[in-house]
Structure 1
Amino acid sequence: MNGKADPRTAGERTTSRARLDRGRGALGPALELVHTGRAPTRAVLTAELGVTRATAGAVAAELEALGLIRVDARPGSAAGSQGRPSHRLEVAEDGPVALAAQIHADGFRAALVGLGGRIVATAPGCETVDADPAKVLASVVEAGAELLRTTGRRCVGAGLAVPSAVAEPDGLALNPLHLAWPVGAPVRRIFAECVRAAGLDGPAFTGNDVNLVALAEHRHGAGRGARDLLCVATGHRGVGGALVLDGRLHTGSSGLALEVGHLTVNPEGRPCHCGGRGCLDVEADPLALLVEAGLEPGPELSLLRQADDLLRTRYDDPAVRRAAEALIDRLGLGLAGLVNILNPDRIVLGGLHRTLLAADPGRLRAVVADRSLWGQSGGVPILPCTLDHSSLVGAAELAWQPVLDDPLTALAGATA
């Protein structure tokens, strides 16, 4: 041996490094394409990124080395196809996760969510919410930290969904009406402190729960491919809305956009917590359905579960059907007004609204079409949310975003 490297080997290594250096800026966009299912093969990735096959291959190999995706170099050929099939790209099943937490009027839940919006593990939900947000957030973070200890997964960060408008830039919960939390509670700061106290070094984020439903559905569910997506949902109490414009969540100048729960849909209706009367928040949520049907809510199940069960098991009961139709009409009026203002190309409904749509899809679509200018001109697709835990998936998206922006830098600080 004379100590000199083989020229071809050195040249190949130089070329490979050069390709990766050129493609380093494409790592984030490439990861997002795989994460959202828009690049199932290396050929599609090459086309979407607008780079050479060699650069796309180097980028995919780097993401695989980071433990984020898996590259299948020997995929099976489809029957009757010709030529060698392109490498398949999938998120790594054993890769890092985000800690996701959700607070709602009837409890809280924690989960670990991997790339692709896949829920890896969930902790048993709690059915009570303390009036002190610090106690609640400490409990939900500890539940998530226990999941991390049990699974041994690397954590990239944490995201929290709360049933309140979250004011920016300070992350204050301005209207946690159904939680008995103080107005203006600094939920982002408290959540971040709890995450650090649990020994997790990743960044912590907080957002409104329906905003996060919209984000999750746009990336992984019924809203995928929509340009202007309107999401309206009712969870355990109240009604929320969110808008995704050109792939980005629209939160307004200070995080308070799309408070659709306070649209008036029944001027002679129930008093609302906001001081108004007949708002969607109190006219089209689970409690409204139960009251409209003449039923006294029980303490054994959440209001959402009781309302869902009522629609699914007793819809033939005339009183239940009348109650459902009343809520559908009110929801339709609210949606029609939003369609006139926003002109979305798709609407997705979550929570109880998803069940109402399934109960009588024709009625809801007819109300929206009849009462909106854009609906009359051709109709707006109204679809049910397809993710079972979209608030949790959306909370995880907040934590995943720094990784999607810059995988190398973000993963340098990820905890094991």
Structure 2
Amino acid sequence: MNGEAAPRRAADLSTRTKLERGRGALGPALELVHTGRAPTRAVLTAELGVTRATAGAVAAELEALGLIRVDSRPGVAGGSQGRPSHRLAVDENGPVALAAQVHPDGFRAALVGLGGRIVDTTPGCVTVSADPAQVLGEVVDAGAALLAKSGRRCVGAGLAVPSAVAEPDGTALNPLHLAWPAGAPVREIFTERVRAAGIDGPAFTGNDVNLAALAEHRHGAGRSAQHLLCVATGHRGVGGALVLDGRLHSGSSGLALEVGHLTVNPDGRACHCGGRGCLDVEADPLAFLQAAGRTPGPEVSLLDQARDLLRAEAADPAVRHATEELVDRLGLGLAGLVNILNPDRIILGGLHRELLNAAPERLRAVVADRSLWGRSGGVPILPCTLDHNSLVGAAELAWQPVLDDPLLLGQGAAVAGH
């Protein structure tokens, strides 16, 4: 008996070891599919460094959890050789995260699945109350209505706000372009509203540009970058973010990369921070409209007015002058950031994306001329590619616990929305 028991124990141990190894690979495997880096089981096997059998078991378990789909009848592309590999994709009918965004011209809620795919979104609200509790209650209620309509399982909720979010308290330190009080406890309020709406799962809050950068790094223009700098102007002001080796760099207390308060015009406009000539007031939509000699109207957002003007009247001398003026200011700020941070890629969002498209060579020349590293070959400067990237980034916060441990779904940590 002893001679038979020893091999059996060894076989049992080997099976358990393989199972544990496979379960330990669930999170990395899901992230690879989520970010599009493992389109087939063969690629998944290579990326994880496991056997084909282990990769197959991992893919099967993720499929059983309702997170991915495995093509049961793989085909071979024309001209390829070897055994065909099963294609992998996120399950389009799988769980979702509730994402919410607040900005000076309104708010919006959305449901976002794996892969950064927006499943459904509410029409954008165009007014924002001075009471953060009222606004966050309204955006969560709008999101809860989307969940009820979808019948989808919800893994959690994420919120993007136009303010630095201080850690660990989750307070909006400087919502300069909202009428909210400084230090508003947005994470606490958001969590309470999510619970009150009957939405289970964790709730998270972050700065809107940080979350845009996270989304672009995983699903958009920032893919494969190791040191990604994102600078964007949305409805008002200018924000920045840095992603290092796949992780947001938020500093010691969540306040890093407040690039809007770099001085780019010492004799320029007074800034809300107490300084003068900051990027925040020298290179945002209001600054563009004023430089073009246009009086902003109340009917649509400043961002939409600036975009429409740039697209429809780019040849107008005043608009062309405003474009060059803002490109020069933006380039000066970017050059300083390049000198300090040495990124391997810069992505621009909001109106800055439009300015890049309007005068790409001028912007790149300003950055190259003013930065040490730009002169040695240049840093790629690209437009952001995702629509609603701050919403997608807010959803990434809610998805992260599942990406870390997909078995949470089987343990009831993320439950159905209603």
Alignment match, 2:4: none
Note if contact 1:19-1:54 (Cα within 8 Å) is conserved in structure 2. no
Note if contact 1:100-1:396 (Cα within 8 Å) is conserved in structure 2. yes
CA distance in 2 between partners of 1:24 and 1:147 (Å): 33
Q: Indicate how the Cα distance of structure 1 residues 89 and 17 shifts in structure 2: closer, same or farther if over 3 A, else same.
A: farther
Q: What's the CA shift for 1:272? A: 0.2
Which stretches in structure 1 are left out of the alignment for 5+ residues? Answer: 1-11
Give the partner amino acid of 1:73. S
CA distance in 2 between partners of 1:16 and 1:289 (Å): 64
Q: Indicate how the Cα distance of structure 1 residues 247 and 32 shifts in structure 2: closer, same or farther if over 3 A, else same.
A: same
Matched, 1:40 2:54: no
Alignment match, 1:385: 384
CA distance in 2 between partners of 1:283 and 1:43 (Å): 50
Alignment match, 1:3: none
User: What is the identity percentage for the equivalent residue pairs of Structure 1 and Structure 2?
Assistant: 83
Alignment match, 1:272: 271
Matched, 1:252 2:248: no
Alignment match, 1:413: 413
Give the partner amino acid of 2:413. G
Q: Could you report, residue by residue, the CA deviation over 1:45-82 in whole angstroms, capped at 9, with x for unpaired residues?
A: 11111111111111100000000000003122111222
Matched, 1:116 2:84: no
Higher mean displacement: 206-215 or 401-410: 401-410
Q: What's the CA shift for 1:410? A: 4.8
Q: CA RMSD in A?
A: 1.5
Q: Could you report, residue by residue, the CA deviation over 1:257-288 in whole angstroms, capped at 9, with x for unpaired residues?
A: 00000000000000000000000000000000
Q: What's the CA shift for 1:16? A: 7.2
Q: Could you report, residue by residue, the CA deviation over 1:212-258 in whole angstroms, capped at 9, with x for unpaired residues?
A: 01000000000000000000000000000000011110000000000
Note if contact 2:408-2:414 (Cα within 8 Å) is conserved in structure 1. no
Alignment match, 2:92: 93
Which stretches in structure 2 are left out of the alignment for 5+ residues? Answer: 1-10
Higher mean displacement: 378-387 or 79-88: 79-88
CA distance in 2 between partners of 1:268 and 1:211 (Å): 29
Q: What's the CA shift for 1:108? A: 0.2
Matched, 1:355 2:354: yes
Q: Could you report, residue by residue, the CA deviation over 1:181-209 in whole angstroms, capped at 9, with x for unpaired residues?
A: 00000000000000000001110000000
Matched, 1:26 2:25: yes
CA distance in 2 between partners of 1:341 and 1:172 (Å): 28
Describe how 1:192-203 pairs up with structure 2 within 5 A: 192-203=191-202
Alignment match, 1:375: 374
Where 2:25 maps in the other structure, the secondary structure is: helix
Where 1:76 maps in the other structure, the secondary structure is: coil
CA distance in 2 between partners of 1:75 and 1:327 (Å): 51
Give the partner amino acid of 2:322. A
CA distance in 1 between partners of 2:134 and 2:346 (Å): 36
Higher mean displacement: 80-89 or 375-384: 80-89
Note if contact 1:16-1:58 (Cα within 8 Å) is conserved in structure 2. no
Q: Could you report, residue by residue, the CA deviation over 1:131-189 in whole angstroms, capped at 9, with x for unpaired residues?
A: 00000000000000000000101000000000000000000000001111000000000
CA distance in 2 between partners of 1:59 and 1:147 (Å): 31
Q: What's the CA shift for 1:85? A: 1.0
Note if contact 1:157-1:204 (Cα within 8 Å) is conserved in structure 2. yes
Matched, 1:318 2:323: no
Q: What's the CA shift for 1:28? A: 0.5
Describe how 1:7-406 pairs up with structure 2 within 5 A: 19-406=18-405
CA distance in 1 between partners of 2:81 and 2:237 (Å): 55
Q: What's the CA shift for 1:15? A: 8.1
Note if contact 1:20-1:59 (Cα within 8 Å) is conserved in structure 2. no
Give the length in aligned residue pairs: 406
Where 1:57 maps in the other structure, the secondary structure is: helix
Higher mean displacement: 366-375 or 67-76: 67-76
Where 1:30 maps in the other structure, the secondary structure is: helix
Give the partner amino acid of 1:28. G
CA distance in 2 between partners of 1:161 and 1:26 (Å): 30
Note if contact 1:402-1:410 (Cα within 8 Å) is conserved in structure 2. no
Alignment match, 2:3: none
Q: Indicate how the Cα distance of structure 1 residues 17 and 62 shifts in structure 2: closer, same or farther if over 3 A, else same.
A: farther
CA distance in 2 between partners of 1:27 and 1:340 (Å): 39
